[in-house]
Chains A and B, each alone.
Chain A
Amino acid sequence: MVTGSGPEVDAGLRLEGVRAGYDGREVLRGLDLTVAQGELLVVLGPSGSGKSTLLRVIAGLEPATAGRVWLGGRDITGLRPGRRNVSMVFQSYALFPHLTALDNIAFGLEVRSAGRKVAREAAQEAARVAGCADLLDRRPGQLSGGERQRVALARALVRRPDAYLLDEPLSNLDAELRTSTRAELRALHDRVGGTTVHVTHDQTEALTLGDRVAVLRDGVLEQVGTPEEIWQRPASWFVARFVGSPPMSTLGPAHPLRPAGPAGSDADDVLVGVRPDAVVLGGTGTPATVGRVEVAGADAFVHLDVAGDALVARVPLAGRPASGDRVRVSLVPGAVHVFDAASGARVEP
């Protein structure tokens, strides 16, 4: 095994100061990221944040203009894509339209000069694991979106790569199928293992699927942490607002509910946010007027006007007020998040 001069040899994936861009525009601006062997890391970010570029740099489809990429203990920065030993699932699935599902899955092994028989057997096994064993003699044109997605997954699974790279693999599925496939994807990872980088713009997907989540914004990592950490202790104002739907409400300096408690939270140079879950209606509290009420399944989101400031509360559907009602609101103690107004960084309470 090539060890190289890397800081510490790790069998997983490691990015050090990676920069990339095209047409004079820098898309990735110095990323440091480590994915442990067998870990499923989800890269979450809005469109244009550079998450697909990140994946393409790892795969070698885009060059890194600076920094190094390590995989399986090897420095793969200068290697061509085929020598990196990664598997990729594209957003469009990139299935060969003229080949059957079986030949699509076997492609990677066949061009790597595995025997035809060996390749076909491996393809059948991968198809069984990915749940598309009954589709093998069909061509992509005869498959539904969900079926194509399974074939693309099977194609990634047919080899034993050092990393699986998934570029928004669920984004072309309808909502219902996306939810079920998400669960299957997680189960598949638990069964098969393998270092995985999964790119998405869907926060629910990121939080439910990832061992850890890396939030990317304008080519810079805002936070890398477990879904719990991302949700409970967002490291920046961007992460706090981006993760959560509807997003956190901002409590302005004059907001009657803004607590004087945690360090600096009464000052003007901080941003204070609160999630809809932490807003309590009824009992004693500050008077507010109910504006729009959105029904979202078992819960409802209540848009409130508190002395001129906006606030969103999440309440059980049965107990929701009507638009125009006068109510009293309070916050769950200690549930506010405080950030530095200038840098957006979290201020530790």
Chain B
Amino acid sequence: MTHASTRPTEERRDRRQLALMAAPFVVGLVVLVLLPAVATLGLAFTSYDIVRPAEWVGLANFAELWDDDIFSIALVNSLVFAAVATPLRLLAALGLALLLHRRARGVGVGRAVVMLPTAVPEIAYGLLWLWLFNPIYGPVNTLLTTGGEGGLTVLGRTPPPWLTDPNSARAAIIVMSLFTIGELFFVLLAVRQSLPQEVYELAAVEDATGWDVFRRVTFPLLAPVLVLLLLRDSILGLQLNFVPALVITDGGPPPYATTYLSLFVYRNGFEYLRYGYAAAATVVMLALTVAVVVLQWRLVRRYRAAWLRLARD
């Protein structure tokens, strides 16, 4: 009987303890994420410049976005960046994780090298690439013109005028993003190392080729994690070009070649002091992110059976 009577008190105490431990996170979440999010949503329907009080304008901001050519460019830029960079980042991280999961000479150094760019502060990383991509004396083009004559590549082509030509600049931002894959790499490395060794030994005894082992064993076993990382990196992909676009290309070269949504929001908010307009763009960006993730999730679920068949046949 004592047991039954003490139980509710114990449960209440447990719950209080849980609440206490979760409190710092909940407070942070509310103050730093939830409240600003609500404020942003509110601001999106106003005109606000810090100086004068906010003025309700209804859907005017969204209407303006619809007609804003710069916003359209930023939207397309962001989507193209995410669509190209995210799969390439995943592929690079997967390749490196599969290359460096074994215990062998130099593997530790290799892992550190893969991790390093992610650990460098973003501004410093951006400035470094500004030097690397310099079309005249930058190491990238020095490398590309090695063996060529008169400043041309071995194939007799002009090396790309990085950062000064719209397409080269977009490519440069994507190339930069391909080296900050430390997190993806480490997650895939850990998951690969947790796969049972005997399964691979069995494949070896059955004379499976490297490709067979990858598509019939490794890939299907990693697939659930790859899907998660794909979703996560897609969310990130709509944001992680902000610092390079600001520091290296400053949104250019004209016409707004590397102005992404994040930079567009920053410009309107903090440079033009159009907080309401920036908030509206942020809301669109958020909606877009949610749409992309939902779309991917549905595609993955729909084609999961086909994926597994691919692994089998």
In the complex, how many angstroms separate the beta carbon of A344 from the nearest chain B beta carbon? Answer: 35
CB proximity of A329 to chain B, nearest CB, Å:
50
B 192-219 to A, binary, CB cutoff 8 A, 1 in contact else 0: 0000101101111111110010001100
With both chains docked as a complex, state the minimum distance between the C-beta of A221 and any C-beta of chain B, in angstroms: 24
- Assess the B220–A98 pair: CB atoms within 8 A: yes
Q: Which of B196, B206, B308 contacts A107 (CB 8 A)?
A: B206
Give the CA-CA distance A59 to B207 in the complex, in Å. 11
Q: A103 near B: Cβ within 8 Å?
A: yes
Residue A242 interfacial (CB < 8 Å):
no
Q: Are B206 and A92 in contact (CB-based, < 8 A)? A: no
Give chain B residues whose Cβ lies under 8 Å from the Cβ of A25.
Answer: none
* Bound CA span A81–B200, Å: 11
Contact A94/B206 with A111-B216, A116-B313 known, Cβ cut-off 8 Å: no
Which of B199, B207, B220 is A111 in contact with, Cβ under 8 Å? B207
Interface magnitude class on chain B: 20 to 34
Chain A contacts of B212 at CB under 8 A? 111
| B209→A96 contact, CB < 8 A | no
Give Cα A167 to B212, complex, Å.
Answer: 25
Taking CB atoms, residues of chain B closer than 8 Å to A59 are 201, 205
Q: Would A87 and B312 be within 8 Å (CB), given that A96-B199, A98-B220 are in contact?
A: no
Shortest distance from the beta carbon of A58 to any chain B beta carbon, whole Å: 11
Chain A nearest CB: distance from B117 CB in Å?
Answer: 33
Complex CA–CA separation, A184 to B92 (angstroms) = 49
Total contacts A-B at CB 8 Å? 61
Per-position 1/0 for A82-123, Cβ under 8 A of B: 111011101010111111000100011001100010000000
Do B201 and A61 touch (CB < 8 A)? yes
Docked-complex contact B313 and A111, CB < 8 angstroms: no
Q: Does A160 contact B (CB under 8 A)?
A: no
Contact B198 A90 (CB under 8 A): yes
Chain A CB within 8 A of B65 CB: no
User: Separation in Å of the A29 CB from the closest CB of chain B?
Assistant: 24
B205 touches A61 (CB 8 A): yes
Q: Which of B202, B204, B221 has the most CB of A within 10 A?
A: B202
A88 adjacent to B202 (CB under 8 Å): yes
Expressed in whole angstroms, the Cα–Cα distance for A112 and B209 within the complex equals 9
Chain B residues within 8 Å of A, Cβ to Cβ? 196, 198-199, 201-209, 212, 216-217, 220-221, 308, 311-313
10 shortest interchain CB distances as A-B pairs = A82-B207, A94-B198, A111-B208, A108-B206, A81-B204, A94-B202, A98-B220, A90-B198, A81-B205, A111-B212
Residues of A within 8 A of B (CB): 59-61, 80-84, 86-88, 90, 92, 94-99, 103, 107-108, 111-112, 116
Besides the contacts A61-B201, A83-B207, A107-B208, what 6 more A-B pairs have beta carbons closer than 8 Å? A59-B201, A92-B196, A94-B199, A111-B206, A111-B212, A112-B206
Q: List 28 A-B contacts (CB under 8 A).
A: A59-B201, A59-B205, A60-B204, A61-B201, A61-B205, A80-B204, A81-B205, A82-B204, A82-B206, A82-B207, A82-B208, A83-B207, A86-B205, A87-B205, A90-B198, A90-B201, A94-B199, A94-B201, A96-B216, A96-B217, A99-B216, A99-B312, A107-B203, A108-B206, A111-B206, A111-B208, A111-B209, A111-B212
